[in-house]
Homo-oligomer: A and B are copies of this chain.
Amino acid sequence: MSESIRVGLLGCGTVGTGVIRILEENREDIVARLGAPIEVVKILVRDPERPRDPIVPRELLTSDPAEVLDADVHVVIEVLGGYEPARGLILDALARGHHVVTANKALLARHGGEIFKAADAAHRDVIFEASVGGGIPIIRTLREGLASDRIHALYGIINGTSNFVLTAMAQQGRPYPEVVAEAQQKGYAEADPTMDVGGIDAAQKLQILVSISFGIAIPFESILTEGIDRVTAADIQFARQFGYTIKPLGIAKAHDDGSIEARVHPTLIPQSAMLASVNGVFNAVMVNSHALGPVLFYGQGAGMMPTAASVVSDIIELGRNIQRGTSGRLPHLAFHPQHTSGRVHRDADRTRCPFYLRFNVKDQTGVLSRISGILGDHSISIRQMVQDTSLPGEPVHVVLLTHTATEGDVMAALKTIETLDFVVEPACYLRVEDLQ
């Protein structure tokens, strides 16, 4: 048996504890697969005295980062979350010659460029499977399984909280606030759920997927991002009438002109699509590539054990490199501007898809003709239409599905339509992907 792979843990919350548990429970299998045991030698925590899961070896705890970074370790695991001190500690670890595993998508989305540059300079690896899709090995798959191929598009349900909320609304007909409250109670949503339901978390993950798939660093702040709080029970019903399910998607596409489109928003997808069967807190990523065609990866997107399993698989991967004295097996393409091969981020106004439009209007003659006229003026044609029956004098819903239209045209048309006197409130719009 080879020398053990020694790791230091930065953080020992849910994921850190899960890492210790997996290393303990699967020790024998890991030795068989790696040819060596993995040994945790030091653990950074804020308060070494507070009660913890008994699986955590208390004698390894310290509140002094230097005790982890200066220990005789091969790999440092960052499971603190947040920007600081995570960023500083990772840079310090690299400078001391340690490899790094991190689950920190927010950190990579914001400081990935700096971190991977430091890793390359130090000839050390930073790997990050758990940062997207929790237990689904999507990062590894994109970097290795699809290394031979050209990706055209990817569609990901990459925020479990949002998917849980939309699934419960759709399956149980319950209103948004009630479902969000349940998600908070179950621990699926934070006290402040904005990062999840607002789409920021998904945008950070999409940035990482885009950087790997297309070799371009698009800051997540510049990704068109809309939250699921825009979806009402009525929209779910109307979508169903059209044969669609509403799912929280991160979408990225490569265009022939070299531009890359990236968006995060609730999306109508056909009920028959595989992604439409991805319910509850589950995640899935569908990739369309040149040779493979469509592939889909499905699993738990979060949680102690799935995330920890991804972290431990990352340690095993680094262990295999360490045993051979090698590093840099997988290039950090995405985060290096010189590798973006002339690709640019397509302006959101220029992206195209079919739209779902719901207008709340006074029930009077000529409404549909005015609306469709304005849409037509903006090169938007209608594919399907339904209209609510209403009580006399009550407003009525006019709901349209358009053919493929340009984002900028749709926004301009909606602005004009909102000024019409029979329009009771601003239109609700959602985007459609037929996933073909």
Residues of B within 8 A of A310 (CB): 145, 148
Contact A295–B297 (Cβ < 8 Å):
yes
Assess whether A316 is in contact with B137, with CB atoms less than 8 Å apart.
Answer: no
**Complex CA–CA separation, A136 to B331 (angstroms):** 22
A136 to B137, CA, bound (A): 13
B26 touches A135 (CB 8 A): no
A289→B30 CA distance, assembly (Å): 15
Question: Is residue A227 contacting chain B, with contact meaning CB distance below 8 A?
Answer: no
In the complex, A433 has a CB within 8 A of chain B: no
Which residues of chain B are within 8 angstroms of A35 by Cβ–Cβ distance?
Answer: 331
Interface string of A287-306 (1 = CB under 8 A from B): 00111111111111000011
In the assembly, what is the distance between CA of A34 and CA of B330, in Å? 8
CB-based contact A320/B313 at 8 Å: no
- Of chain B, the residue at the smallest CB distance from A149 is B309
Residues in B neighbouring A274, C-beta threshold 8 A: 274, 277-278, 298
Question: Is A222 interfacial (CB-CB < 8 Å)?
Answer: no
Answer yes or no: A374 CB below 8 A from chain B CBs: no
A146 interface hit (Cβ, 8 Å): yes
Docked-complex contact B293 and A296, CB < 8 angstroms: no
CB distance from A326 to the nearest CB of B (A): 4
In the complex, how many angstroms separate the beta carbon of A340 from the nearest chain B beta carbon?
Answer: 10
- Taken together as a complex, chains A and B put the C-alpha atoms of A186 and B296 apart, in Å, by 25
Which residues from chain B contact A148 at a C-beta distance below 8 Å? 22, 26, 30, 309-313, 315-316
**Which parts of A302-336 form the interface with B (CB within 8 Å)?**
305-306, 308-313, 315-317, 320, 324, 326, 329-331, 333
Per the bound structure, the CA–CA distance linking A51 and B129 in Å amounts to 46
Q: Does A150 contact B (CB under 8 A)?
A: yes
Contact with B along A8-27 (1 / 0, CB 8 A): 00000000001000100110
A29 within 8 A of B: yes
A297 CB contacts on chain B under 8 angstroms: 295-298
A436 within 8 A of B: no
> Is A350's CB within 8 Å of the partner chain B?
no
A296 B294 Cβ-Cβ under 8 A: no
The residue from B18, B129, B278, B296 contacting A145, defined by CB atoms under 8 A apart: B129
Identify which of B129, B135, B292, B300 contacts A306 (C-beta below 8 A).
Answer: B292
Which B residues are CB-close (under 8 A) to A316? 144, 147-148
Judged by a CB distance under 8 angstroms, whether A32 is at the interface is: yes
CB under 8 Å from chain B, chain A span 72-111: none
Fill in one digit per residue for A124-153: 1 if any B CB lies within 8 Å of its CB, else 0.
Answer: 000001000001110011001111111000
Check if A341 is an interface residue, CB within 8 A of chain B. Answer: yes
- B residues less than 8 Å from A308 (CB atoms): 291
- Give every chain B residue within 8 A of A147 (Cβ-Cβ): 30, 33-34, 312-313, 316-317
What's the Cα separation between A215 and B29 when bound, in Å? 10
Docked pose: A277 CA to B320 CA in angstroms: 37
Note all chain B residues with C-beta closer than 8 A to A46. Answer: none
Identify the A interface with B (CB < 8 A): 18, 22, 25-26, 28-30, 32-35, 129, 135-137, 140-141, 144-150, 215, 272, 274, 277-278, 289-300, 305-306, 308-313, 315-317, 320, 324, 326, 329-331, 333, 339, 341
A sample of 16 cross-chain residue pairs with beta-carbon separation below 8 angstroms, ordered by A number, consists of: A33-B331, A34-B147, A129-B145, A135-B292, A135-B295, A137-B295, A140-B140, A144-B313, A147-B316, A148-B311, A149-B313, A272-B277, A277-B277, A294-B300, A296-B296, A296-B297
Which 7 A-B pairs give the minimum distances between C-beta atoms? Answer: A137-B145, A148-B312, A295-B299, A291-B309, A291-B305, A135-B292, A296-B298
